[in-house]
A = this chain, B = another copy of it.
């Protein structure tokens, strides 16, 4: 084994308590890179994709990539991979902070958790020493409290913690894993899988540094790429200054800022909840960066109420703001803080509440069903805070919301009001204003998602070049290219935000120098395509019907009522067949030839 891999995979059987270490095969590393790719490979190997996500048969993987924990800029990412209880498909959620780098420093590329504990446990890792310990006293605690308590117990303030909150314990279908108190492996309910396994937390401390085969060469690349990030207007200025919330006004002015459950793309309250307002109102206290990050887009915030935390990020602020019609930046930020403490995905929770608001306002959801909870009108600042709390504990109507928008809308006889793809809630871009993004949503391997392929970059921001967002022409090829490159980036262990500035060549440079594998650009991109197809194979085995490669009816048939995209719908049928074609798929399935070409069969 060489390069920046730790060279060890930690395997933990929670049913038996057995802990093993094994060396990964170098050929597998080269083929799947690490992180998302390698974890997807193991998931396919170790579990039946048709298994019930909340059963012990599910496999939960924490995976770093070859750049995780190195000096590569923003090289602090890790992935949580398993089968999702929200979508029933593959889940692979990415997170930053410092946990991933610490796991690598302790000497592990991945942790593979199988089975399920009978009583709550946590996993304690101090370099070579690995132990499962009882967590009965931690069960029920919020993520920040768990983190503090575990660190104290562990006796090392520098130890890093990834854990679940009450939402994960209570199997909320969109519960997340929180690391370093404020960073989330957010989507697809990976926290519920951890909860079902009765694994409350992983605490890790390590003292090794990953070393590249030729450190001098690697460091030169690191310096070069860091400089590119520092001088780029997005990663060097926009994101450092306003964080991800730099986007609120841009997306709203472009008319694709989904408002009141995607009923329109223009939010009249943007001025009150945008990134600029967070700064001006004095809620932003300072910026913070993840491990080795020169961008530092995280926001440390405090409210007049005395609440402190991080965020909201653009997506979180939107989900609780525009999507719920709420103009109260304090309530939006409180709801975001709550999500972090309770271990809830902000996007899914906000969009599910928005769905309930539309059901309520249209009279499909009777007030009695809310019990003692506040009325679910769009704009209710109380509702977003109250029901977020109720979701985590599955209290009252929170129990129904905890199932996600798709199951909620279905239960009330109006599935068309769930703004979901493959049962996962859509993020903060109305695809009626960005056709390629619509295709990317429809074909995402983990359901409604913007970070499997962020076509907003070319369609709206003009990165790396400006595309006409209303055109469908050639978009299939763009989506495929973005999906494949993103699969690579997520496998590297570097932050996706670097891709605003770095090119595929830049990633190749870092990857080759870190691993010592002489990747060509073509080989690296084939890895990305391989990972994408492998995830698709998992999903098909899990029971995915390619007909689910679609969007909520609203986005396909209801014309955008106002703004720059007035009159538009997503013309998915103009793009999907071409997408299958460029993917080499037939009827939405990879052909045997394609699988052979990718060395997957």
Chain A positions near chain B (C-beta within 8 angstroms): 272, 277, 280-282, 303-307, 327-331, 334, 337-338, 341, 372-375, 380-382, 385-386, 388-390
Contact = CB atoms under 8 A, between A and B. Distances in A.
A445 to B, nearest CB: 34
Q: Which 10 A-B pairs have the closest CB atoms?
A: A304-B389, A280-B372, A328-B382, A381-B381, A328-B381, A305-B334, A330-B382, A330-B385, A304-B385, A281-B372
A386 B382 CA distance: 16
B331 A382 contact: yes
A310 to B, nearest CB: 15
14 contacts: A272-B374, A272-B375, A304-B385, A304-B386, A304-B388, A305-B305, A305-B337, A305-B338, A306-B341, A327-B382, A328-B328, A328-B381, A328-B382, A330-B386
Nearest to A337: B305
Contact of A381 (B280, B307, B330): B330
Contacts of A390: 304
Contacts of A338: 304-305
Contacts of A331: 328, 330-331, 381-382
Contacts of A304: 338, 385-386, 388-390
A281 B386 contact: yes
Nearest to A390: B304
A305 B329 CA distance: 14
A382 B379 CA distance: 12
Nearest to A329: B382
A508 to B, nearest CB: 45
Contacts of A375: 272
Contacts of A373: 281
Given A304-B390, A305-B385, 8 more contacts: A280-B372, A281-B386, A303-B385, A304-B389, A305-B334, A328-B380, A328-B381, A329-B382
A280 B389 CA distance: 15
Contacts of A374: 272, 281, 328-329
Contacts of A303: 385
Contacts of A381: 328, 330-331, 381-382
Nearest to A282: B372
A328 B380 CA distance: 7
A135 to B, nearest CB: 22
Contact of A380 (B307, B327, B337, B385): B327
Contacts of A281: 372-374, 386
Contact of A306 (B282, B307, B327, B380): B307
A233 to B, nearest CB: 25
| Max count, chain B CB within 10 A of own CB: residue among A306, A372, A382 | A382
Contacts of A305: 305, 307, 334, 337-338, 385
A389 B281 CA distance: 12
| Max count, chain B CB within 10 A of own CB: residue among A334, A337, A389 | A334
Nearest to A307: B305
Nearest to A372: B280
Nearest to A303: B385
Contacts of A334: 305, 330
Contacts of A329: 374, 382
A307 B308 CA distance: 11
A385 B305 CA distance: 7
| Max count, chain B CB within 10 A of own CB: residue among A282, A327, A330, A380 | A330
